[in-house]
């Protein structure tokens, strides 16, 4: 076994050398060959981590290597180089790495270091931290047989690496293969037979050679189609860890899809990648940020939310922040920044402190839901309010009455009498409230602000037990009643009045205790009333009275009363004297439940206890002597009377309904906090939430990259600008590499998420820099990059494997053939829907649920059901399929789609028996087979109604190219055999065709054919 | 030695390699052999003699266990009702704990000053080993001499989803590989006909969701495969209605021939892998129904487990687990949720032991009499324990319950090289803190791997810039519990 390991190690070491720019054994590259060894074997103890460094020897910096204590490296002199002495020492006390270390240096690695020292020990900055170059390809006019060389720069760079190895690219792929490849790559769907035939004749010569300008039109058409955005958004959503639910135990639904739609739209609009970045990181901070720019900040709202009873919300907010730092690192910088959460990075130059400085840049946001303005809703609201006015004016005519004129006159009189009586009644109830405004106010964690109308507004973070302290200087003596108004506000979750933003009813509060001390004396309240109270959990009392019962576990809440004003009125045992009032309000459940907006008022009049208030404007009118009322005021009161009198209840119900605020779609967004309430960021020792140390940090970028301080503001917008700064050596490379990987299955840097010292160096460094620099100079246009790639012959070559070349390059690193890759889960499903002719091209909107076998979601918490959508929503593109984190869509999971729980830079491409079973047996695919087969049996014209024509049609719907005669024979033989079986078995026929009034053996047998074709390797592969 | 070969080789043939090496259900040997011939790059340390299916690393040292059955009691059973009698709690019932005991522990629901609650069941000592068990576990009492009880287990998390993830993946948030995934990754499969890593769910849904058996950052083929209680045991393993066995076979044949035509043209070995995966699917369609066909079991066996062979239950899952072990399945999770006794801890305990006690004990007995216990590790326990203090909350309608308690609770293990009739770990008189032989969840995980011959410090995978382990940078094997 040990021998095997060594063999493997040797093999890998050898490939490392081969991968480099130059194959010459006499030219060791520090970046390519040496630093990875030092990083892997030495940096843990002699690297960037100050805490872990065990001696003064430091090997991760130029100074440390050459000028450090002990002379680790003396160029040209191995025996004087302490590092070399140590790694070759026989004495176990001297040997490095220490004999008990997990990581031991190999002979091959020793040899590399020796040669490097002997050759003069040139030091270079890490390749990915060096500025992006704009290399020019050398013009290579050699015509290799079979491959037509244009002067496409991509081909030149690829060729320059192939030639020394005796490799060359394949011939051009055949037209149908190439058309299908282009469609799958650019829009994530195959062409229809008609489209394929059209492009076969227009974009290719009869012999199958590309006609460049027509081919370019094909590419342009695809890149500018709406389906393009749906295809490429899905890849971005993998990085964004997009999901339609919160994750963890409860995994409730969330309003995330407006962000998903934003991504699709932005991509279709060809938004430059730098702007695409800035809007997602900090769209809310742009001047006069639009709704769309605010929705874009959903990128970092895709973090999970734990709504489990009993969690500490701030702890899980911290975890969300660590996810944001790590995801930003992976997505834009291709760095494993997450490693520095607990301690300084062991391999890369990212310190523990820098990790939290990056976090500080992002840490100053609130996480509200944005109501998306909707002109249609506004219009409907206006229509409703106009209708309300009409209905109110018509109310008197509905007063119960006889038919004669006399009756009608009498009725007017009756209404007047009743109105007068109502006014009198109301006046005995209504109090003359005076708002009191606090002179001082504070809270344990929420940020309180006093607003102009005497309201107190809370924002920021909250805990499971919040305490508000308010101090008032009250003038009037003998206060007989105190009123709390809990007020709605668009800034609050679900418009408030509460701050509850997880687990409970969003926008609710739970006011458990209300204590008032006046001039040092505790005030006793004897009674209290509320206008509305409802509990979300349990059947116990929730009421204003429970605020004054001394029990911290009971309180007042307004479940299902969100977006409305509610009041509670409290009566003291004795009138309360003037002076210094100190009020303490306790809020608490096992989740945050503080009041978001409230106002306090006092009254000195003597009235019965009641919280049944009319709207404040009406209440004020009721305080005016009836004789002093203007006619307008009188009419307002009269309308209010009519709205509340029982004789008209039947007619006022509709008015109440029409007055309800129409719901607006909401979206999870980030919102920069006001400067008055900054959130501090500290270093967390060992990455632990409760274990902070040191002073509050100012945000900053990474020192190893381009400068941050002095160039950018220390906030999210600064971070976004720093990421896409032309100085940044990483972002453009990381993005270009990831797009390359989308087409070729592998990146130029194979470790898509690690451009650090431990990542693999680029196989084609010049090509990578060419793509990265051209991306930027072409205004960060990803569409440009895609067109650039697919118009290269490297992309257009055949995937047929040449056995000789396979031996030279089994991993196809040098692209002497087009790499075949299994297509993504979403594309497999969408393609089969398209081939069945049932794919819906409807774009955008809430997530949908395609059919899947029973018992998938039921294993998640609460055993939620998955009721498949009806109609066209059943057959929408997979990007619209609901992503439930704790119970992912089964077909997607089987084909390696991510669960949306963490940033995914690269998907696996597994090949399993479960995939075979899914394609063959899953109910969704069975439906697709039945639909396709039905269309085959419906082919009626003489030309295509033969079985042979049907078989060709079935084959081409799925695989685009025509079948070979052998393939056709196989399919027809199978078909006739199945047909005979079904003809003698009606029951089986019915079962196989599914819902059908006219089940035929033909339909069943074609269903079987399609089912086999959908299962082919070629069907799920990009050839 | 550093397993550098674990660095993800992001190659075009990654999928083929993983398929060959790790796919739960093996390929046909002929296909495999021909494929391996192309695969010198991926020569593996050692092939499994029986299946020809290599794991990624093989064992680090000889291990006793070949298979693991994890009976995961999701929701957290009360150790104070089941394993450790604490008379002090009865004596002081209703009084708060001393502040010195409480420390600064955060609680999910209760206030730290809640009064203590005495145990709701009587306790006794069972077997020659005098294992302490309550009357709520009469069946476990009959195998007391076959198990090791750990009475001072502690964890880092005090809420369900994070703690369940912590127990099953070594980390409190989703994204890390589960124990079963690590084991399958390391050791590969013992069977060609069934998945190597199976998950059964017998209660309600689990808080941790699919993350509890996810492969995390390991390739997706290491994910646990759900074995379902109702309907076809494996998703889509059943041929759709109306398609006869012969029609299904004809379909497999057509697919194979058409794939072979393509292979002849394209010559990409990946097509061979696809052909093999369909052969495997065909075998799975036969072996899965055979596995769940309990008519092969005697009435005596069914009675031992107390299971109705036609109805999904925990006991039936235990019997299926035994059948899986016999057929070479490597790692089996049985999730039973419902233990979260915030209210009425007595009723909850009775209800859940009623569902799980007989099946768990029968599994140990059955494995033992079949001679399989020595090579099968059985683990029983929840994600944390329950508080000595009472939980009650009129608003939430809770009374006589217990809250979550991460400091000390109980798990037991049996077989696979674990001592018989052994117990370790002592807690203080309140059952609050360990006083002797505390074991951390990472220790439990290290021990599970050790029984299989795996060193938790050497079983690593390079991901996101560093080498990850199941036990992070912690964990020690509980050596005194090993035979």
pLDDT tens digits along A884-932 = 999 999 999 999 999 999 999 999 888 889 999 999 999 999 999 999 9
The answer to whether position B247 is within a domain reads no
Residue with tokens 């998420």: A753
In terms of domains, do A937 and A825 share one? Answer: yes
Judged by a CB distance cut-off of 8 A, whether residue A912 touches chain B is yes
Angle, in degrees to the nearest 10, between helices B14-22 and B29-37: 140
Q: How many CA atoms are closer than 13 Å to the CA of A653, on its beta-carbon side?
A: 5
In terms of domains, do A867 and A854 share one? Answer: yes
Q: How confident is the model at residue B395 (pLDDT cuts 50, 70, 90)?
A: low
Smallest Cβ–Cβ distance between A1016 and the set B258, B268, B395 belongs to B258
- Pairwise CB contact (< 8 Å): A855 & B228: yes
| Contact assessment for residue A204 and residue A211, using Cβ atoms and an 8 Å cutoff | yes
Per-residue pLDDT at A695 exceeds 60: yes
Average pLDDT, chain B: 86
| pLDDT tens digits along B179-192 | 999 999 999 888 88
Residue with tokens 């739209």: A265
Q: Residue A494: what pLDDT?
A: 93
Q: From the CA of A389, how many Å to the nearest CA of chain B?
A: 43
Query: Count of A–B CB contacts within 8 Å?
Result: 330
Residues 6+ apart with CB under 8 A from A113: A34, A37, A83, A84, A87
Per-residue pLDDT at A525 exceeds 70: yes
Residues 6+ apart with CB under 8 A from A198: none
User: What was the ipTM of the complex prediction?
Assistant: 0.87
- Pairwise CB contact (< 8 Å): A5 & B204: no
Point out the domain boundary residue: A124, A140, A155. A124
Q: Is B100 left (phi over 0), alpha (psi -120 to 50) or beta?
A: alpha
| Contact assessment for residue A663 and residue A444, using Cβ atoms and an 8 Å cutoff | no
In terms of domains, do A454 and A573 share one? Answer: yes
Which of 168-187 (A) contact B at CB < 8 A?
none
Per-residue pLDDT at A270 exceeds 90: yes
Question: Which whole number is the average pLDDT over A421-450?
Answer: 94
Burial group, residue A265, by CB count within 10 angstroms (0-12, 13-18, 19+): middle
- Pairwise CB contact (< 8 Å): B397 & A539: yes
Point out the domain boundary residue: A575, A595, A613. A613
Question: Which whole number is the average pLDDT over A379-403?
Answer: 90
Pairing of strands B439-440, B147-154: parallel
Q: How confident is the model at residue B1 (pLDDT cuts 50, 70, 90)?
A: very low
User: Cα–Cα distances in Å, from B263 out to A442, A811, A917, A1023, B271?
Assistant: 74, 18, 21, 12, 6
| pLDDT tens digits along B321-336 | 999 999 999 999 999 9
The answer to whether position A423 is within a domain reads yes
Per-residue pLDDT at A216 exceeds 50: yes
Q: Residue A538: what pLDDT?
A: 67
- Pairwise CB contact (< 8 Å): B174 & A304: yes
In terms of domains, do A829 and A938 share one? Answer: yes
Judged by a CB distance cut-off of 8 A, whether residue A306 touches chain B is yes
Per-residue pLDDT at A633 exceeds 60: yes
Residues of A in contact with B5 (CB under 8 A): 5, 8-9, 12
Q: How confident is the model at residue A406 (pLDDT cuts 50, 70, 90)?
A: low
Question: Which whole number is the average pLDDT over A963-968?
Answer: 97
Q: Residue B54: what pLDDT?
A: 54
Q: Is the pLDDT higher at A52 or at A518? A: A518
Closest CA to A542 of A521, A562, A561, A558: A558
Q: How confident is the model at residue A14 (pLDDT cuts 50, 70, 90)?
A: very low
- Lowest average pLDDT, out of A941-945, B300-304, B429-433, goes to A941-945
pLDDT > 90 in chain A, percent: 70
Per-residue pLDDT at A248 exceeds 50: yes
- CATH for A453: 2.60.120
Burial group, residue A668, by CB count within 10 angstroms (0-12, 13-18, 19+): buried
Q: Residue A150: what pLDDT?
A: 61
Smallest Cβ–Cβ distance between B12 and the set A345, A811, A888 belongs to A811
Q: Residue A98: what pLDDT?
A: 85
- Pairwise CB contact (< 8 Å): B207 & A308: yes
Per-residue pLDDT at A17 exceeds 50: no
Q: How confident is the model at residue B107 (pLDDT cuts 50, 70, 90)?
A: confident
Closest CA to A757 of A335, A416, A236: A335
In terms of domains, do A526 and A418 share one? Answer: no
| pLDDT tens digits along A324-361 | 999 999 999 999 999 899 888 888 889 999 999 999 99
CA–CA separation, B458 vs B477, rounded Å? Answer: 13
Q: Is the pLDDT higher at B5 or at A989? A: A989
In terms of domains, do A425 and A529 share one? Answer: no
The answer to whether position A465 is within a domain reads yes
Question: Which whole number is the average pLDDT over A672-701?
Answer: 91
Q: From the CA of A473, how many Å to the nearest CA of chain B?
A: 35
In terms of domains, do A717 and A694 share one? Answer: yes
Which one-letter DSSP state was computed for residue A288? T
Residues of A in contact with B205 (CB under 8 A): 858-864, 886-887
The answer to whether position A231 is within a domain reads no
Q: Residue A534: what pLDDT?
A: 92
- Pairwise CB contact (< 8 Å): A911 & B274: yes
Residues of A in contact with B384 (CB under 8 A): none
Number of folded domains in chain A?
Answer: 5
Which one-letter DSSP state was computed for residue B230? S
Question: Which whole number is the average pLDDT over A688-710?
Answer: 92
Residues of B in contact with A861 (CB under 8 A): 204-207, 209
Residues of B in contact with A972 (CB under 8 A): none
The answer to whether position A944 is within a domain reads yes
The strand ranges marked E within A638-707 are 666-668, 671-672, 683-684, 692-693
Residues of A in contact with B162 (CB under 8 A): 248, 306, 311
Q: Is the pLDDT higher at A88 or at A232? A: A232
- Pairwise CB contact (< 8 Å): A914 & B41: no
Smallest Cβ–Cβ distance between A8 and the set B5, B13, B242 belongs to B5
Q: Is the pLDDT higher at B481 or at A66? A: B481
- CATH for B385: 3.40.720.10
Q: Is the pLDDT higher at A31 or at B9? A: A31
Q: Residue A943: what pLDDT?
A: 64
User: Cα–Cα distances in Å, from A636 out to A416, A487, A619, B325?
Assistant: 14, 23, 11, 80
Residues of A in contact with B240 (CB under 8 A): 921, 923, 926, 991-992
Residue-number span of the structural domain to which B134 is assigned? 67-235+284-481
Number of folded domains in chain B?
Answer: 1
| pLDDT tens digits along B272-291 | 989 989 998 999 999 999 99
The answer to whether position B311 is within a domain reads yes
In terms of domains, do A827 and A975 share one? Answer: yes
Q: Residue A944: what pLDDT?
A: 66
Judged by a CB distance cut-off of 8 A, whether residue A799 touches chain B is yes
The answer to whether position B260 is within a domain reads no
Which of 211-270 (A) contact B at CB < 8 A?
247-249, 251
The answer to whether position A775 is within a domain reads no
Which of 34-63 (A) contact B at CB < 8 A?
none
Judged by a CB distance cut-off of 8 A, whether residue A988 touches chain B is yes
Question: Which whole number is the average pLDDT over B380-406?
Answer: 89
Question: Which whole number is the average pLDDT over A86-113?
Answer: 85
CA–CA separation, A726 vs A849, rounded Å? Answer: 43
Q: How many CA atoms are closer than 13 Å to the CA of A922, on its beta-carbon side?
A: 23
Which one-letter DSSP state was computed for residue A682? -
Residues of B in contact with A887 (CB under 8 A): 205, 209-210
- Pairwise CB contact (< 8 Å): B284 & A1008: no
The answer to whether position B204 is within a domain reads yes
Residues 6+ apart with CB under 8 A from B270: A820, A911, A1017, A1021, B12, B13, B15, B16
In terms of domains, do A280 and A295 share one? Answer: yes
Residue-number span of the structural domain to which A396 is assigned? 377-430+623-662
What distance, in Å, lies between the first and last C-alpha atoms of chain B?
Answer: 27
In terms of domains, do A356 and A504 share one? Answer: no
The answer to whether position A175 is within a domain reads no
- Lowest average pLDDT, out of A111-120, A140-149, A684-693, B10-19, goes to B10-19
Q: From the CA of A117, how many Å to the nearest CA of chain B?
A: 25
- Pairwise CB contact (< 8 Å): A916 & B277: yes
- Pairwise CB contact (< 8 Å): A800 & B267: yes
| Contact assessment for residue A967 and residue A203, using Cβ atoms and an 8 Å cutoff | no
Q: Residue B27: what pLDDT?
A: 28
Per-residue pLDDT at A142 exceeds 70: no
In terms of domains, do A922 and A990 share one? Answer: yes
**Could you give the angle at the alpha carbon of B368 between the alpha carbons of B366 and B373, nearest 5°?**
110
Point out the domain boundary residue: A91, A109, A124. A124
Q: Residue A590: what pLDDT?
A: 82
Smallest Cβ–Cβ distance between B254 and the set A802, A974, A1023 belongs to A974
Helix (H) or strand (E) holding A821: strand A821-822
Per-residue pLDDT at A576 exceeds 60: yes
Q: Residue A140: what pLDDT?
A: 53
3 state SS of B463? strand
User: How many angstroms separate the most distant Cα atoms in chain B?
Assistant: 82
In terms of domains, do A499 and A594 share one? Answer: yes
Smallest Cβ–Cβ distance between A308 and the set B11, B159, B231 belongs to B159
**Could you give the angle at the alpha carbon of A752 between the alpha carbons of A747 and A758, nearest 5°?**
115
| pLDDT tens digits along A832-847 | 999 999 999 999 999 9
CA–CA separation, A598 vs A437, rounded Å? Answer: 11
Residues of B in contact with A19 (CB under 8 A): none
């Amino acid at each position: 076994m040990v021998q095997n390991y060594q063999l493997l190690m040797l093999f890998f070491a050898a490939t490392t050398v081969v991968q480099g720019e130059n194959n010459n054994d006499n030219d060791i590259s520090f970046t390519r060959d040496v630093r990875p060894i030092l990083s892997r074997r030495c940096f843990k103890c002699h690297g960037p981590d100050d805490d872990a460094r065990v001696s003064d020897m430091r090997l991760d910096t130029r100074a440390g290597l050459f000028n450090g204590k002990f002379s680790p490296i003396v160029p040209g002199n191995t025996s004087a180089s302490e590092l070399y002495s140590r790694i070759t020492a026989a004495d176990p006390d001297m040997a490095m790495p220490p004999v008990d270390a997990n990581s031991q240096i190999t002979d091959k690695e020793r040899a590399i270091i020796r040669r490097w020292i002997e050759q003069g020990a040139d030091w270079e900055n890490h390749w990915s931290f060096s500025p992006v170059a704009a290399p020019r390809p050398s013009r290579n006019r050699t015509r290799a047989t079979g491959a037509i060389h244009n002067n496409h720069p991509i081909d030149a760079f690829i060729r320059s690496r192939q030639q020394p190895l005796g490799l060359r690219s394949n011939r051009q792929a055949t037209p149908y293969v190439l058309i299908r490849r282009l469609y799958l790559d650019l829009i994530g769907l195959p062409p229809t037979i008609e489209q394929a035939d059209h492009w076969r004749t227009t974009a290719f010569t009869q012999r199958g050679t590309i006609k460049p300008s027509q081919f370019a039109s094909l590419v342009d058409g695809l890149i500018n189609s709406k389906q393009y955005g749906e295809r490429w958004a899905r890849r971005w959503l993998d990085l964004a860890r997009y999901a339609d639910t919160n994750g963890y135990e409860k995994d409730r639904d969330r309003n995330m899809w407006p962000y998903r739609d934003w991504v699709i739209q932005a991509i279709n609009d060809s938004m430059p990648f730098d702007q695409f970045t800035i809007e997602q990181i900090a769209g809310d901070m742009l001047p006069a940020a639009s709704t769309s720019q605010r929705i874009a900040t959903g990128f970092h709202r895709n973090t999970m939310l734990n709504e489990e009873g009993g969690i500490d919300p701030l702890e899980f907010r911290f975890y969300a922040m660590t996810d944001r730092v790590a995801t930003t690192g992976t997505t834009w910088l291709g760095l494993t920044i997450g490693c520095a959460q607990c301690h300084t990075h062991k391999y890369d130059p990212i310190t523990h402190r820098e990790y939290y400085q990056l976090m500080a840049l992002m840490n100053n946001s609130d996480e509200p839901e944005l109501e998306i303005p909707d002109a249609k809703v506004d219009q409907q609201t206006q229509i409703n309010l106009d209708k309300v006015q009409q209905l109110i004016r018509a109310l008197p005519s509905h007063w119960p009455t006889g038919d004669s004129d006399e009756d009608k006159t009498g009725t007017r009189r009756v209404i007047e009498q009743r109105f007068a009586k109502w006014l009198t009644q109301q006046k005995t109830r209504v109090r003359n409230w005076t708002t009191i405004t606090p002179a001082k106010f504070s809270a344990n964690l929420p940020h309180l602000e006093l607003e102009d109308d005497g309201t107190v507004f809370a924002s920021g973070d909250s805990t499971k037990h919040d305490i508000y302290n308010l101090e008032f200087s009250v003038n009037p003596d003998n206060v007989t009643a105190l009123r709390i108004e809990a007020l709605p506000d668009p800034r609050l979750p679900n418009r408030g009045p509460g701050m509850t933003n997880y687990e409970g009813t969003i926008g609710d509060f739970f006011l458990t205790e209300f204590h008032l001390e006046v001039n040092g004396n505790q005030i006793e309240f004897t009674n209290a009333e509320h206008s509305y109270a409802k509990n979300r959990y349990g059947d116990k009392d929730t009421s204003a009275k429970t605020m004054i019962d001394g029990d911290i576990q009971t309180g007042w809440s307004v479940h299902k009363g969100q977006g409305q004003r509610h009041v509670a009125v409290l009566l003291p045992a004795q009138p309360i004297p003037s002076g210094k009032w100190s009020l303490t309000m306790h809020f608490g459940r096992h989740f945050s439940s503080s009041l978001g907006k409230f106002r306090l008022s006092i009254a000195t009049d003597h009235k019965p206890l009641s919280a049944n208030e009319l709207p404040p404007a009406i209440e004020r009118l009721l305080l005016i002597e009836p004789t002093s009322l203007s006619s307008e005021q009188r009419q307002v009161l009269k309308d209010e009377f009519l709205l509340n009198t029982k004789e008209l209840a039947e007619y006022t119900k509709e008015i109440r309904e029409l007055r309800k605020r129409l719901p607006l779609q909401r979206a999870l967004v980030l919102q920069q906090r006001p400067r008055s309430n900054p959130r501090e960021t500290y270093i967390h020792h060992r990455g632990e939430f409760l274990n902070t140390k040191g002073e509050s940090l100012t945000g900053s970028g990474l020192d190893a990259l381009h400068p941050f301080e002095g160039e950018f503001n220390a906030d999210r917008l600064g971070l976004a600008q720093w990421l896409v700064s032309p100085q940044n050596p990483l972002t453009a490379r990381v993005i270009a590499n990831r797009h390359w990987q989308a087409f070729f299955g592998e990146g130029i840097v194979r470790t898509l998420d690690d451009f650090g010292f431990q990542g693999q160096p680029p196989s084609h460094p010049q090509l990578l820099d060419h793509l990265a620099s051209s991306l930027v100079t072409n205004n960060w246009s990803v569409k440009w990059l895609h067109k650039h790639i697919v118009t290269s012959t490297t992309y257009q070559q055949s995937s047929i494997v040449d056995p000789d070349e396979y031996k030279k390059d089994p991993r196809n690193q040098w692209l002497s053939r087009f790499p075949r890759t299994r297509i993504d889960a979403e594309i497999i499903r969408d393609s089969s829907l398209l081939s069945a002719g049932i794919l819906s091209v409807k774009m955008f909107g809430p997530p949908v649920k395609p059919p899947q076998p029973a018992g998938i979601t039921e294993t998640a918490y609460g055993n939620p059901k998955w009721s498949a959508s009806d109609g066209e929503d059943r057959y929408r593109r997979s990007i619209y399929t609901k992503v439930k984190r704790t119970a992912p869509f089964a077909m997607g999971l089987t084909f390696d789609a991510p669960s949306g729980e963490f940033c995914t830079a690269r998907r696996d491409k597994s090949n399993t028996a479960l995939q075979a079973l899914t394609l063959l047996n899953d109910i969704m695919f069975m439906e697709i087979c039945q639909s396709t087969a039905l269309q085959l049996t419906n082919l009626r014209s003489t030309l295509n109604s033969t079985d042979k024509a049907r078989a060709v049609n079935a084959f081409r719907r799925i695989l685009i190219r025509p079948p070979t005669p052998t393939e056709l024979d196989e399919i027809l033989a199978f078909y006739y055999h199945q047909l005979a079986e079904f003809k003698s078995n009606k029951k089986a026929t019915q079962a196989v065709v599914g819902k059908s009034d006219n089940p035929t053996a033909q339909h069943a047998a074609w269903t079987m054919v399609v089912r086999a074709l959908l299962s082919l390797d070629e069907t799920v592969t990009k050839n | 030695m550093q397993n550098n070969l674990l660095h993800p080789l992001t190659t075009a043939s990654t999928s083929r390699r993983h398929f060959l090496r790790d796919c739960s259900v093996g390929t046909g040997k002929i296909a495999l052999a021909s494929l391996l011939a192309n695969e010198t790059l991926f020569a593996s340390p050692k092939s499994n003699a029986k299946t020809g299916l290599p794991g990624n690393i093989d064992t680090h040292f000889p291990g006793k266990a070949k298979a693991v059955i994890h009976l995961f009691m999701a929701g957290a059973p009360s150790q104070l009702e089941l394993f450790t009698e604490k008379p002090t709690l009865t004596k002081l019932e209703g009084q708060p704990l001393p502040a010195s005991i409480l420390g600064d522990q955060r609680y999910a629901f209760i206030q730290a000053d809640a009064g203590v609650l005495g145990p709701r069941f009587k306790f006794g000592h069972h077997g020659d080993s005098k294992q302490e068990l309550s009357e709520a576990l009469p069946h476990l009492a009959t195998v007391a001499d076959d198990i090791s009880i750990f009475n001072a287990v502690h964890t880092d998390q005090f809420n369900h989803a994070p703690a369940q993830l912590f127990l099953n993946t070594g980390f409190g948030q989703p994204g890390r590989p589960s124990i079963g995934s690590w084991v399958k990754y390391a050791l590969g499969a013992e069977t060609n006909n069934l998945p190597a890593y199976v998950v059964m769910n017998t209660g309600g849904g689990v808080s941790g969701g699919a993350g509890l058996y996810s492969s995390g950052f390991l390739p997706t083929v290491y994910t646990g495969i759900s074995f379902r209680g109702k309907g076809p045991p494996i998703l889509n393993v059943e041929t759709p209605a109306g398609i006869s066995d012969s029609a299904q076979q004809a379909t497999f044949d057509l697919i194979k021939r058409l794939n072979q035509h393509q292979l002849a043209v394209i010559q990409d070995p990946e097509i061979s892998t696809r052909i093999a995966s369909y052969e495997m699917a065909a075998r799975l369609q036969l072996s899965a129904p055979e596995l769940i066909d309990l008519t092969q079991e005697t009435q005596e066996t069914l009675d031992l487990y107390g299971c109705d062979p036609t109805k999904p239950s925990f006991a039936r899952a235990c019997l299926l687990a035994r059948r899986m072990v016999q057929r070479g399945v490597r790692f089996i999770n049985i999730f039973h949720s419902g233990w979260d006794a915030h209210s009425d801890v007595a009723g909850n305990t009775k209800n859940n032991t009623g569902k799980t006690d007989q099946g768990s004990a029968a599994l140990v007995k059955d494995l033992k009499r079949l001679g399989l216990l020595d090579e099968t590790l059985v683990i029983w326990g929840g994600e944390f324990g329950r508080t000595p203090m009472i939980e009650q909350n009129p608003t939430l309608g809770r009374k006589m319950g217990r809250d979550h308690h991460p400091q000390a609770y109980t798990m037991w293990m049996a077989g696979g090289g674990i001592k018989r009739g052994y117990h370790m770990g002592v807690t203080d008189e309140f059952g609050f803190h360990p006083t002797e032989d505390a074991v951390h969840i990472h220790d439990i995980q290290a021990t599970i791997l050790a029984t299989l011959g795996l060193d938790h410090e050497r079983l690593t995978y390079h991901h996101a810039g560093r080498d990850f382990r199941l036990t992070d940078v912690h964990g020690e094997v509980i050596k005194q519990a090993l035979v």
